[in-house]
Structure 1
Amino acid sequence: MTTQAELDDRYGRTARPVRRRLLWGALIAVAALGIGWLGWTAVSNSVEAVSVDGLGYEVRDEHTVEVSFQLTAPEGRSVACAVQALDKEFGVVGWKIVQYEGDGDHRMRHTETVPTVAEATTGLVESCWVT
């Protein structure tokens, strides 16, 4: 006759060892920390995000381009932007870094004059970031 203990052992109904429970607990804790870190990274990146919309450009002469743009930044934070002028082969012929102090408004419209070394065909904002 088969005893209850032999049946439990045969069909895997024995009590789980403590090690297995600790391993699962550690895996769950690591997964929760990983998800929390990903969430924090996503939130912190979006809080510091700066978006730029190009409004246009005007080639004034062979050594000057005016670039107009609007940027949206975190309220009260200083922002820097890289503005550049390109020639017909998309080579950079002029650029400058401009900084704007956080004045409490999160939307700002600007027009910047970019000096060039050759005639440009376009002007644009390469990127903006919180300083």
Structure 2
Amino acid sequence: MQTKLDDRYGRTALPWRRRAFWIGVAVFAVAAIAYLVWITLQNSLDDISIAETGYLVVDERAVTVSFQATPPSGARFACAIQALDEDFGVVGWRVVEYGPFPDTTRSFTERVPTLALATTGTVKECWTI
């Protein structure tokens, strides 16, 4: 009588293969979530915050770009700085490397040589090296 009720209401024990499958799925899910959390934290620790503070078109052959960078403490980093024309075409490009600094936020002004008259200068991207 009890086995009939157990079968009817689904209270039977799972076969070992089905139980092993669900344990494997749970372990995989936990490992995948842990990996995603680790990658997210690792990427956020390497981020460099950039705040552009201005630019100055010097002449037809140069533009200066001013910005503040906040890298991870003591990290070496590089920035790609570009000069753009009125159609947003790149007319100048420079990659500058910076040594580790004890300060967290530093101000920089970089001169970018251009091939034609630029109308703006900007920091394209910064990364740790």
- State the TM-score, normalized to the length of structure 2: 0.94
Q: Is 1:33 aligned with 2:31?
A: yes
Counterpart amino acid of residue 130 in structure 1:
T
Q: What is the aligned partner in structure 2 of residue 117 from structure 1? A: 115
Task: Give me the whole-angstrom Cα distance separating, in 2, the residues matched to 1:89 and 1:9.
Answer: 74
Counterpart amino acid of residue 29 in structure 1:
V
Task: Give me the whole-angstrom Cα distance separating, in 2, the residues matched to 1:5 and 1:110.
Answer: 78
Counterpart amino acid of residue 77 in structure 1:
A
Task: Give me the whole-angstrom Cα distance separating, in 1, the residues matched to 2:16 and 2:2.
Answer: 22
SS at match of 2:91: strand
How big is the alpha-carbon RMSD for the aligned residues of Structure 1 and Structure 2? 1.1
- State the TM-score, normalized to the length of structure 1: 0.93
Q: Kindly tell me the number of residue pairs found equivalent between the two proteins.
A: 129
Unaligned ranges ≥5, structure 1: none
Percent of paired sites with the same residue = 50
SS at match of 1:37: helix
Point out the more displaced range, 73-82 or 7-16.
Answer: 7-16
Q: Is 1:128 aligned with 2:126?
A: yes
Q: What is the aligned partner in structure 2 of residue 61 from structure 1? A: 59
Q: What is the aligned partner in structure 1 of residue 46 from structure 2? A: 48
SS at match of 2:27: helix
Task: Give me the whole-angstrom Cα distance separating, in 1, the residues matched to 2:10 and 2:99.
Answer: 68
Larger Rg: 1
2:79 corresponds, among 66, 78, 81, to: 81
Counterpart amino acid of residue 55 in structure 1:
T
1:103 corresponds, among 101, 104, 119, to: 101
Structure 1 residue runs of 4+, over 6 Å off?
none
Shift, 1:69, TM fit: 0.4
Task: Give me the whole-angstrom Cα distance separating, in 2, the residues matched to 1:80 and 1:86.
Answer: 20
Task: Give me the whole-angstrom Cα distance separating, in 2, the residues matched to 1:72 and 1:15.
Answer: 58
SS at match of 1:13: coil
Shift, 1:119, TM fit: 0.5
Unaligned ranges ≥5, structure 2: none
